[in-house]
């Protein structure tokens, strides 16, 4: 089951809290980057975490209703922050797995990869050029020691 559009919009400020915009503004926050859909895909493989996130989002809506709004996404950003902080102090807080999925999705996003100088592609099958390494200095003490096993 997929998140609704409203759940994805509600997830954006939570993701922004995990990965905020860079100080110089060159990298967007995770929610700004639109990672809610990617996180949704990742959570499809983790039913327990997904169910916990859905419960947390429902609790955010309940907190918004107590503030007179129809849902969490109807709150202004300051009220959203307050509701998220209030939720974080309860047993319905977002699971730690959500943060892990957020980081995983963020650092594979093409815009983030390009920012760090990586091509926005899978590492295989093309691979990456790796400069040759001279292992001789590392292996010299091992070779100098000679065999340390018993011949059979």
The string of pLDDT tens digits covering residues 28-70 is: 999 999 999 999 999 999 999 999 999 999 999 999 999 999 9
Global pTM? 0.76
Residue 147 lies in a domain: no
Q: Is residue 130 part of a domain?
A: no
Domain that holds residue 67: 5-120
First to last CA, the chain: 61
In a domain, 139, yes or no: no
Domain-embedded: residue 133: no
Task: For residue 134, tell me if it sits in a domain.
Answer: no
Residue percentage of the chain with pLDDT more than 70: 100
Q: Give tens-digit pLDDT for 80-127.
A: 999 999 999 999 999 999 999 999 999 999 999 999 988 887 777 777
Residue 135 lies in a domain: no
Domain count, the chain: 1
> Strand, coil or helix: what is 112?
helix
Average pLDDT of the residues of the chain = 92
Q: Is residue 105 part of a domain?
A: yes
């Amino acid at each position: 089951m997929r998140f609704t559009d409203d759940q994805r919009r509600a997830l954006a400020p939570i993701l922004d809290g995990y990965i905020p915009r860079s100080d110089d503004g060159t990298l967007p926050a995770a929610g700004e980057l639109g990672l809610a859909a990617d996180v949704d895909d990742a959570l499809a493989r983790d039913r327990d975490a997904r169910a916990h996130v859905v419960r947390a989002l429902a609790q955010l809506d309940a907190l918004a209703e107590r503030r007179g709004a129809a849902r969490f996404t109807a709150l202004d950003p300051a009220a959203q922050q307050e509701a998220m902080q209030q939720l974080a102090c309860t047993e319905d807080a977002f699971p730690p797995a959500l943060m892990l999925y957020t980081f995983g999705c963020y650092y594979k996003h093409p815009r983030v990869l390009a920012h760090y100088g990586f091509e926005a592609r899978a590492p295989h099958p093309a691979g990456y050029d790796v400069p040759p390494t001279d292992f001789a200095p590392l292996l010299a003490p091992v070779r100098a020691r000679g065999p340390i096993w018993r011949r059979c």
